[in-house]
Structures are given as structure tokens and as C-alpha cells.
Amino acid sequence: MAMKDLADKLVALCMKRGIVFPSAEIYGGAAGFYDYGPVGVILKNRIREFWRSEFIVKRENIYETESSIILPRIVWEASGHVAGFTDVLVECKNCHLRLRADHLIQDTLNIVTEGKTLDELSDIINEHDVRCPNCKGELTSAQKFNLMFKTYVGATESSETEAFLRPETAQSMFLDFMRIQDAMRAKLPFGIAQMGRSYRNEISPRNFLFRLREFEHMEIEFFVHPDQKNDVPDELWNKVENLEVLALPMDLQEKEEPPIQCKGSELFEKGIFSCKWLLYWTLASFSWLVRVGLDPNRLRLRQHMLNERAHYAADCWDIEFQYSFGWKELQGIADRTDYDLKRHTEFSGKTLDFHLAEENIKVVPHVIEPSSGLERIIMALLETAYAEETWMDEKSEAQERTLFKFNSYIAPFQIAVFPLVSRDPLVERAREICTILKDNNFWNIYDAKSSIGRRYRRVDEVGVPFAITVDYQTLEDSTVTIRERDSMKQERYSIQDLVEYFKKQLQFG
Ligand code: ATP
């Protein structure tokens, strides 16, 4: 299927089935903002819960927080965002359309602009006479644009009341560092984790859920002793060292060579990753993404080039996904060193450090940060899970269906329940089964309208992994058929075994 077609089909299906649709749609929509419908909310929560299960519940030393979205200007001065959280834009002198300079150059000339200065970008635009895509007007020279949304707190608009919506959740985890380590009696290494909305006034939001102005971050700030950045405990390392990955370190990118395929451990042994904790978090994130349901062959690890690294990072790797519009960043894993804790100490006058009781000394920990955007994961998942199938049925009639092949533990609705016909006592039995399933916390969807075939098609389109049909045999022997979405195989099970059966099928993988 042509990639453009896939993108269009995904958008249409997401809108039709209540997964995601544009915010303020009846007013023409608001670029870069989307609302989640009932199915999308469950999908989102499912991914959140799987993240929480893997990175918080199953570990002893990662603590979850939830902090304010609006923070005063001083926080963002200390973090470097006021000065440096910018993209480069050009404006059309005629129609005043504003465009991201790097995207425009990439789209029109196919030149990669990572790390180029303002003057260099302006020169490329002038030399190639790049014009406004809207009206062919002349463009201004390139200028910086800060991506943070500004607001004022309280009734007075002044420099003292100026505040910003957070562009990342990370900063609060540095601000709360002393409180959390004290409250939890934390020992190094330990992590603080947060899921929550972030806001970036992107110049040109695009590619559906990929580049948004409001999105959800899932971030961990993992604090390690500065001299122990390679001390990953064996029980953690054993789980990731043998993962097969595609990796694109800086030198291969400089030589324009393809990625290498190797075992996770080789990336440390060969000195490709600067420290083991950075590699551990990259591999642990990769492994989790595969278990969410992403195709491992469409994931690769790419090191940031020196000129694209954030101001705080000593080393940074992206996990990239091969979206229908190319290889793009899905998640970043950065070695933020002690930059943030030291900057906030400097600006607030409050010491942010860690007391090592045994040695009776204080250290400022270094931070390894895996940071991902939930919508980019959802977008990658939708692209991976989408399928169209055609086949001949037993009467040699052509059949077709569209489906999402979500993992059973990520699928929004887990079980569909159908009475064969919409008549008692079948309806009554089907309703009873719904209640049993709901009482056991399974999300089910009841449908009694139209033919069974049509009902299967409808639930396939939201990726429901199992469908139960209550038929006349059910009334005789208390069994039902369970139809498995991908294979379409049907088997009979006793109603009393359903809960156990689904508990096994639907637990996090
Ligand atoms: P990009 O270079 O694509 O703008 P970034 O390097 O600025 O991304 P980070 O600051 O590293 O992104 O943020 C961490 C993660 O947050 C990204 O890997 C991505 O998953 C998500 N993210 C960042 N910006 C957006 C956005 N505008 N819309 C949706 N998700 C985003």
C-alpha cells in the first residue's frame, strides 16, 4: 500500500471509530491539537498502564510524580529553555505564512539541515530561490522562534508574573529532587518518572499525531553516581544484553553508511555508547516498544550528531521508527549529566545533591533520561497494527476486512460479546456474560445489531482480539464460541472457564 494512502486511511478510520479526531472540529479544527474519543482514551490508558507496570511497578527504585504544567519564567531561564528552546522560521513577505526553515528546505530541496546556523539556512534559501509554497512570495531571512507557550499568572501582566506551559515534564522532577529523595529514603541510583501533558508551539505541526502542539510525555529522570555510570546490576543487564538492534552511531552517519545490526551488549563492548546506563535505558525502552506491538525491524537506534545535541546533553540517542513518512524520532535517551541539578542550584540558591551516608560526602548525581511521546508511540502502533485482508469464504465468496492487530493487552476493547440473534433468551445470556466480564475488569463491547459477519468487521476495525458468540447450543450446555481476531479461528469454551481463559490471554507481555 502506498504510504500516503496508509496515512489517509488511518486518519479516516481513527475518526470513524472514535479513536482520535481534530480538536474544535466543528470550527475547522485547531492545527496540532487532537481529541481522543472513547476508544482512543482506552488505548492511551492501556499504553500508560503498560509503561507504569514495566518501569515503575516492577521496579523498586523508580518513583512516579505528577507536577504542574505551568511554571514561572525563572524555571525556564535556569533550564535554558528561554534562551535556547527555539526552531528556525522564515516568513513569506507577501502572505505572511510562517514556516519551519529546516522542513521547508528538506521538503523542497531534500537537503538535511541539522545543525546549520541561521545564516547558512538563509543562504540555502537564497541560493536555491526557495519561495513560499502558498503564494510563491519571497521569504524573509531565517530567525529564531521560541516554542514555549507564554502566559501570565494572576491578574497582572508583568515580567514578574510571566510563566510558561511546560515543553517537557522533566524540569519538575529536578525541582522536586530533594523532596522525593527524602520522602522515599531513596538510594542512588534511583529514578523519578512522570507521565503528563507537554506543550510546544510548533511552527508547522504535521503528520497527524507525530508533531503536535499539545501531547503527552512519558519521562524518567534516572539519577546515578557520577563515577558509577557503568554499574548496571546484572539482573537488569541480563534482560537486555542479547537484544538484536540496528544502530547508527555518529561515525556511520558522517560516512553516510547504513546502520549496523548487532547485539545490545556489543554497543558497550565496542565503546559505541559512552556509558552503560545510557545503553541500558535505550535497550530497555526498545524492548518495551517491541512489546507494545511495534515492528522491531522498523526501529533503530541513532546517535545525535554533535551539532544536533541539546545544550544539556553529553550524549544522546534516538530510537527512531520507520513511519510512513520516513525514519523519525520516536523517543530520545539523553545523558543530561549534572547540568539541570546544578543550574537549578545556581538559580534558586538551594542545594540539589545527594548525601552518601557511608562516605559522608555529597555528590551531584548525573541524569540519564529516557523521554518518549505517547502520541508518537500511538502513531507508530497504528501504522504497525493496521492491516487489510481479503479471502474466499466457504461459499467461494470474496470477503475483505480492515483491522488493527493490537496485542491483546494493548487493544482498547478486549472482548466483544454477541448474541447470535437479537432475541431472548440469547440476549439475556449474552448480557449475563458481559456482567461477569465487567465484574472481572475486562473491557467488553456488546453488539446485537446486524449479521454476525458485519459485527466481526466492526470490532476488527478497533482491534478487539476476542469475540464471544452466544448461540442456541449455549442454552443447552453453557458453552460459547470464542473467535480469535487474527486467525479468525473459533473454539467452544465453557462459560465458567471464561474468566480464567481471558486472565491468561490478556496479561501484560
Ligand atoms: P523533534 O526533533 O522531532 O522536534 P525533540 O528532539 O524536540 O523532537 P524531545 O525534546 O527529545 O523531542 O522530546 C522527547 C520526545 O517527546 C520525542 O522523542 C517525542 O516522542 C516527543 N515529542 C517531542 N515533540 C513532540 C511533538 N511536537 N509532538 C508529539 N510528540 C513530541
Is the beta carbon of 300 within 6 A of some atom in ligand 1? no
Q: What is the pLDDT of residue 4?
A: 65
On the question of pLDDT at 440 being above 70, the answer is yes
Span from the CA of 198 to the centroid of ligand 1 (angstroms): 10
The minimum-distance atom of ligand 1 relative to the CA of 334 is 11
On the question of pLDDT at 70 being above 80, the answer is yes
Residue nearest to atom 12 of ligand 1 (CA): 332
Residue nearest to atom 25 of ligand 1 (CA): 211
Residue 432, beta-bridge partner list: none
Q: What is the mean pLDDT of residues 25-54?
A: 97
Is the beta carbon of 211 within 6 A of some atom in ligand 1? yes
The minimum-distance atom of ligand 1 relative to the CA of 215 is 29
Residue nearest to atom 11 of ligand 1 (CA): 332
The minimum-distance atom of ligand 1 relative to the CA of 205 is 27
Residue nearest to atom 16 of ligand 1 (CA): 373
Is the beta carbon of 373 within 6 A of some atom in ligand 1? yes
Is the beta carbon of 215 within 6 A of some atom in ligand 1? yes
Is the beta carbon of 217 within 6 A of some atom in ligand 1? yes
The minimum-distance atom of ligand 1 relative to the CA of 328 is 3
CB atoms within 10 A of CB 395: 6
Q: What is the pLDDT of residue 393?
A: 87
Q: Using the structure block, give the residue that is written with the C-alpha cell 543487564.
A: 237
Q: Using the structure block, give the residue that is written with the C-alpha cell 449479521.
A: 451
Span from the CA of 349 to the centroid of ligand 1 (angstroms): 31
User: Three-state SS for 168?
Assistant: coil
Is the beta carbon of 376 within 6 A of some atom in ligand 1? yes
Q: Please enumerate in sequence order all residues whose Cβ is within 8 A of that of 162, keeping only pairs 6 or more positions apart, or say none.
A: 72, 73, 150, 151, 152
Q: What is the pLDDT of residue 1?
A: 61
Q: What is the pLDDT of residue 173?
A: 98
Provide the pairing of β-strand 214-224 with 190-199. Answer: antiparallel
| Buried-state track 72-85, b at ≥16 Cβ within 10 A, e below 16 | ebebbebbebbeeb
Q: What is the pLDDT of residue 3?
A: 61
Span from the CA of 38 to the centroid of ligand 1 (angstroms): 25
Span from the CA of 371 to the centroid of ligand 1 (angstroms): 8
Confidence class for position 114, pLDDT limits 50, 70, 90? confident
On the question of pLDDT at 329 being above 80, the answer is yes
Confidence class for position 43, pLDDT limits 50, 70, 90? very high
Render pLDDT for 274-297 as a digit per residue (tens, 0 to 9). Answer: 899 999 999 999 999 999 999 999
Please tell me the distance from the alpha carbon of residue 25 to that of residue 476, in angstroms, as a whole number: 50
Out of 20, 208, 215, mutate this one to test ligand 1's pocket (max ligand atoms within 8 Å of CB): namely: 215
Please tell me the distance from the alpha carbon of residue 389 to that of residue 508, in angstroms, as a whole number: 27
The gap between the terminal CA atoms of the chain, to the nearest Å, is: 30
Confidence class for position 379, pLDDT limits 50, 70, 90? very high
- Weakest-pLDDT range from 2-6, 43-47, 338-342, 480-484: 2-6
Span from the CA of 330 to the centroid of ligand 1 (angstroms): 7
Q: What is the pLDDT of residue 53?
A: 96
Confidence class for position 2, pLDDT limits 50, 70, 90? low
Render pLDDT for 452-469 as a digit per residue (tens, 0 to 9). Answer: 999 999 999 999 999 999
The minimum-distance atom of ligand 1 relative to the CA of 331 is 18
Render pLDDT for 471-482 as a digit per residue (tens, 0 to 9). Answer: 999 999 999 999
Query: What DSSP character marks residue 496?
Result: G
On the question of pLDDT at 380 being above 70, the answer is yes
Query: Mean pLDDT of all residues in the chain?
Result: 95
Please tell me the distance from the alpha carbon of residue 169 to that of residue 149, in angstroms, as a whole number: 14
Is the beta carbon of 377 within 6 A of some atom in ligand 1? no
On the question of pLDDT at 353 being above 80, the answer is yes
Render pLDDT for 232-247 as a digit per residue (tens, 0 to 9). Answer: 999 999 999 999 999 9
Is the beta carbon of 87 within 6 A of some atom in ligand 1? no
Is the beta carbon of 171 within 6 A of some atom in ligand 1? no
Confidence class for position 91, pLDDT limits 50, 70, 90? very high
**Burial zone of 2 (CB within 10 Å; 0-12 exposed, 13-18 middle, 19+ buried):** exposed
Read off the pTM. Answer: 0.95
Q: What is the mean pLDDT of residues 184-209?
A: 96
Residue nearest to atom 23 of ligand 1 (CA): 373
Span from the CA of 468 to the centroid of ligand 1 (angstroms): 40
| Cα angle, residue 83 at apex, residues 78 and 86 outer, rounded to 5° | 125
Nearest to 81 by CA among 200, 206, 221: 200
The minimum-distance atom of ligand 1 relative to the CA of 87 is 4
Is the beta carbon of 22 within 6 A of some atom in ligand 1? no
Residue nearest to atom 21 of ligand 1 (CA): 373
Provide the pairing of β-strand 162-165 with 70-72. Answer: antiparallel
Span from the CA of 373 to the centroid of ligand 1 (angstroms): 6
Is the beta carbon of 371 within 6 A of some atom in ligand 1? yes
